[in-house]
Amino acid sequence: MPYSEAMRTLAGIAILLCVLLAPTAVRAAEDGYYVGAYRGIDIRQSPSDESPTVAHLERLRSVRIEARERSWARVATVNPPIVSGWVPEGALRRRHEPPKAHRSTSSFFAGLAALFGSDDSDASKTAVLGVRGLDNEGDLGNRAAPAAEVRWVEGLHVSDREIADFVRQGRLNP
Amino acid sequence: MIRRLALLVAMLAPLPASAFDLQGLGEALGVNPDTMKHIEQGVQLTQALIPISDREEIELGRSVAARVIGRYGLVHDQRRTYYLNLVGATLASRSDRPNLPYHFAILNTDDVNAYACPGGFIFVTRGALDMVRDEAELAAILAHEISHVTERHIIKAMQHSKLMKVGADVAAEAFRSHGALFSQMTDFATDALFKGLSKEDEYDADAKAVVYLDRLGYDYRAMDDVLRLLQQRQRMGLTRVLSQTHPSPALRIRHLDAAERTMNLPQPSPIRLAKRFARYTETRKNPS
C-alpha cells in the first residue's frame, strides 16, 4: 500500500473514531447525583459486574458522573475520601429526585401481576439496585433492630426436657 | 510451557486473590487472555475456602437477624412463639447440626415467607403461620429453613464470593472486630436472604425437610401440602415476595416428587397434630 493511501486510511479511521466517541468524550462531568440503592452500591474498576470491586459507596453518598458507558456510569465521590469507579446507572439518582417511596401498587394489581406472571418485570427493574426480593420496601432494608429485640430472640430457648415432653405428647419418634 | 504455567499457579496459589491482578499480570507478560483465564481457575481451585467456625457463623447470623427484625418487626406473642420454638427445636435436635443454638421467632407481616439466618436464627412470618393448618405443615416450613442452616447454604455462597478472597487472617479479624468487612458480610448474607438462594439450594432444602419430618415421625407429605398451599396463595397474588425469592411452587413440587422417588421413604405416618396446633395458635387472630 502506498504511503499516502495508508495515511488516508488512518485519517479515515481517526475521524470515524472521533465521531463515535464524541458523545462521551465531550460530555462534561455531571454533578448532583447520589447513591439511591438502599444498600449502597459496589464501585467497580470497569463497567462490568465481573470487574473487581474498588470500594463500597453507602446510600445517599454524593457522586459526580464523569462518563457513561452502556448502562454504567463512571463516578467519583464529591466529598473525601475520594473514590472513583463504575456503578450501574440505575443505582444513582439525581438530587431533585426523592428516593423511591414504598410500593404504590395496590394488592389488587399485584395480584393481577402475579396471575399473569409479570413478577419478573418488576424483578428485573429492581435487580439494578441489588434487591430482588423486597424491592420497594427497601428503605427499611438497612435498619437494624434494637439490640433488645435481638436479645429477646436469643433468649428464646426450650430445654431438652421440654423437647422430650413435646415429643412424647405428640407421639413423635423418641 | 506447561511446566512454567504450573509453576506460576503454584506460586500464586498461596496469595489471596485480591493481592494481585491476574489479568493485568497476564497482559504484562504477554500471555494469551484465554490461557490466563485457565491459570486463574487453577489458582482458585488450589486456594482452600476460608473456614468459618460455628461461633463466627452465629456472630454473622445475629447481625443478619437484626436486619430481618429491623425490616419487619416481631410478634411478641409468648404462647405462639414458645410453640414455634418447641416445634423448631425438636426438629433441630434431630437435624444434621443439632448443637447450634436455634432460635425461632415470628415476623410481623402478612406476607407468607420464612427466613433462615446463618447460625440458627429462624423467622416465620405471621402470614405463613396463619396459612398452615396443622403442626406437620408448620414443621415442614421450619424443617425447610433448618435445612438451609444445616447445609450452610448462605455461608457456602459467601465462601465462594469475592468477598472472602481476602485471606483467612483478614476474615478472622473481621469477625473479631466487626469492622467494614464484617458489615459487607452481613450485607451479603442479608441480600442472599432477601434476593433468594439458588434454586438448587431451595430444592435441596425441600428434600432435606422431608427427611427431617420423617425422622421425627410427622407425615412427611406435609411438605408437599405446604407447597400446594403456596401455589394457591400464589394464584391469589398473596406471595409476592416469596415468588421473587423462590422457584415457583409448581417447580418445587415437581422436584420434590422426583427427589422423594430416590429416597426410599417408608409409608407416610398419619401424624399431623392439628388439634395441638390449634390449641397453641388459638390466639392467632389477636397478635400483640
Position B70 confidence tier, pLDDT thresholds 50, 70, 90: very high
Dihedral, B281, B99, B223, B207 alpha carbons, nearest 10 = 170
CA distance to partner chain A, nearest, from residue B1 (Å): 28
pTM tops 0.95:
no
Average pLDDT over residues B253-268: 93
- How high does pLDDT run on average in chain B? 84
Query: Which pLDDT belongs to residue A92?
Result: 78
Q: Is A148 on the interface with B (CB under 8 A)?
A: no
Residues of A in contact with B65 (CB under 8 A): 145, 150, 153
Distance of alpha carbon B184 from alpha carbon B189, whole angstroms: 9
- Ranges of H-type helices in chain A: 3-26, 107-115, 119-127, 147-154, 160-169
pLDDT in tens, B207-227: 999 999 999 999 999 999 999
Cell of A151: 436479645
Give strand pairing partners of A74: A67, A86
> Is cis: bond before A52, omega within 30 of 0?
no
Distance of alpha carbon B121 from alpha carbon B115, whole angstroms: 8
- Which residue would you say has higher pLDDT here, A25 or B57? B57
Average pLDDT over residues A82-108: 59
The question of ipTM being above 0.85 is answered as no
**CA of A105: which chain B residue's CA is closest?**
B240
Least confident of B143-147, B186-190, B244-248, B271-275: B244-248
Cell of B270: 398419619
Model confidence at A72: pLDDT above 50: yes
Residue with cell 448502562: A71
Model confidence at B232: pLDDT above 60: yes
pLDDT in tens, B123-162: 999 999 999 999 999 999 999 999 999 999 999 998 888 7
CA distance to partner chain A, nearest, from residue B225 (Å): 19
The proportion of chain A whose per-residue pLDDT surpasses 70, expressed as a percent, equals 55
CA distance to partner chain B, nearest, from residue A49 (Å): 12
pLDDT in tens, A118-157: 333 322 222 222 222 333 333 344 567 778 899 999 999 8
Model confidence at B205: pLDDT above 50: yes
Q: Please indicate whether, in this complex, the C-beta atoms of B271 and A172 are within 8 angstroms of each other.
A: yes
